[in-house]
Homo-oligomer: A and B are copies of this chain.
Amino acid sequence: MPRLDDVTRGRILHGGDWNPEQWPEETWQEDVRLMREAGVNSVTLGVFSWSRIEPRPGERDFGWLDRLMDLAHDHGIGVVLATPTASPPPWMGRLHPDTLPADADGHTELWGGRQHFSHSSATYRRLAAAITEDLAARYAGHPALTLWHINNEYCTYDHGDEAAARFRTWLRHRHGTLDALNTAWGTAFWSQTYGDWAEVLPPRRTHYLKNPAQLLDFRRFTSDMLLECFTAERDIVRRHTPHVPVTTNVMPLWSGLDAWRWAEEQDVVSVDLYPDPDDPFGAQHGALVQDMTRSQARGPWMLMEQAAGAVNWRPVNRPKPRGLNRLWSLQAVARGADAVCSFQWRQSRQGAEKFHSGMLGHAGPDGRAHQEVRRIGADLARIAPHVAGRTVTAEAAVLHDWHAWWASDQEGGPSRAAGHAEILTAWHRALWRAHVTTDVAHPEHDLTGYRMAVVPRLHLLTDRAADNLVAYVRGGGTLVCGFGTGVVDEDDRVRPGGMDERLRALFGIRTLHEWWPLEPGATVETAGGLRGTLWSEELEPDGTADETLAYRGGELDGLPAVLRKGRAWYVSTLPEPDDLRNLLGRVAAGAGVRPVLDGLPDEVEAVRRGGLLFLLHHGRDEVAVDVPGTHRDLLTGATVTDRVTLGRYGVAVLAP
Contacts and interface: CB of A to CB of B under 8 A. Distances in A.
Interface of A: 19, 21-22, 48-52, 55-56, 84, 87-91, 93-94, 101, 105-116, 156, 185-196, 198-201, 203-214, 278, 309-310, 312-313, 315-319, 321-322, 347-355, 361-364, 366-369, 412-417, 491-494, 496-498, 511-520, 538, 555
Contacts of A93: 199
Given A111-B206, A190-B113, A494-B362, A352 B22 contact: no
A101 to B, nearest CB: 7
What are the nearest 5 A-B pairs in CB distance?
A186-B350, A113-B206, A189-B351, A362-B498, A209-B352
A513 B416 contact: no
A187 B87 CA distance: 12
B206 A351 contact: no
Contact of A87 (B185, B190, B362): B190
Max chain B Cβ within 10 angstroms of own Cβ: one of A19, A112, A210, A512: A112
**Which secondary structure characterizes the binding site on chain A?**
loop
A55 B191 CA distance: 9
Given A191-B87, A322-B555, A519-B278, A414 B355 contact: yes
Nearest to A116: B207
18 contacts: A22-B186, A55-B195, A110-B206, A114-B207, A190-B351, A190-B352, A192-B351, A209-B313, A209-B352, A212-B350, A310-B414, A316-B519, A316-B520, A322-B555, A350-B491, A362-B494, A362-B497, A364-B497
A193 B352 contact: no
Given A50-B191, A315-B416, A369 B513 contact: yes
Given A111-B199, A352-B190, A497-B362, A514 B368 contact: yes
Nearest to A156: B207
Nearest to A513: B368
Contacts of A412: 312-313, 352-355
Nearest to A492: B350
Nearest to A309: B514
Contacts of A350: 185-186, 188-189, 212-213, 491-494
Given A89-B195, A516-B318, A352 B212 contact: yes
Contacts of A87: 190-192
Contacts of A309: 514
